[in-house]
Amino acid sequence: MADKGILVVVSGFSGAGKGTLMKRLLEKYDNYALSISATTRAPRPGEEHGREYFFHTKQEFEELILQDALIEYAQYVENYYGTPKAYVEKQLNAGKDVILEIEIQGALKVKEKLPETLLLFVTPPSAEELKRRLVNRGTESMDVIESRLARAAEEAKGMPKYDYILINDEIETCVDTMHKIIQSQHDTVKNRESFIEKITEEIAVFKKGEEV
């Protein structure tokens, strides 16, 4: 049986390159799975249930909330978004490390519910570089870019709550660093579990009144 996977939550500023980073991580290494979110918004052309999102009616989604079937959820512009517990657990039990990309609020909710979750925050090397990347995307007006930068100033306050800060300067280096951090977490979990098992067995001897 494969070792259980680790749940990794990735957050970061808009323009930090989270999407590119995770796409490259999945291309380069084969032990990862991207978590698929559930939503009540309508599918866009070309989107499929179970691929981009799990699409639900509002009633179905609220039933999932009542059943505690979501690790976390939030409501944006009249639509619900959330992380289905069953899908994540299935991937973890299959030995996959599951990557979940959500904002700080959701990330902290996941950590609260599942304390063993690894929290990673992705950032460019400087604020100037963040602005340059947003401008160079050429997809948004300066007003939108300014609002994203203002939001980044608020998001930066949550960075100390993350386990690791990933500086996305050179993509390949950042991908390899991310992979090493996640794999080292496996070693930490294994060492912790084996030590607990060992010391528990040793201490049990005292209960029987025997010598070590």
Binding-site residue set for ATP: 12-19
Per-position DSSP letters for 109-151, written without gaps between them = HHHHH-TTPEEEEEE-SSHHHHHHHHHHH--S-HHHHHHHHHH
Count CB atoms within 10 A of the CB of residue 40: 19
121 forms bridges with which residues in the sheet? 11, 165
Q: Which of 81, 44, 78 is nearest to 61 (CA)?
A: 81
Amino acid, res. 89: E
Element (H, E) at 108: helix 104-113
Return d(Cα 90, Cα 43) in angstroms, integer.
Answer: 24
Q: Which residues are annotated as a binding site?
A: 12-19
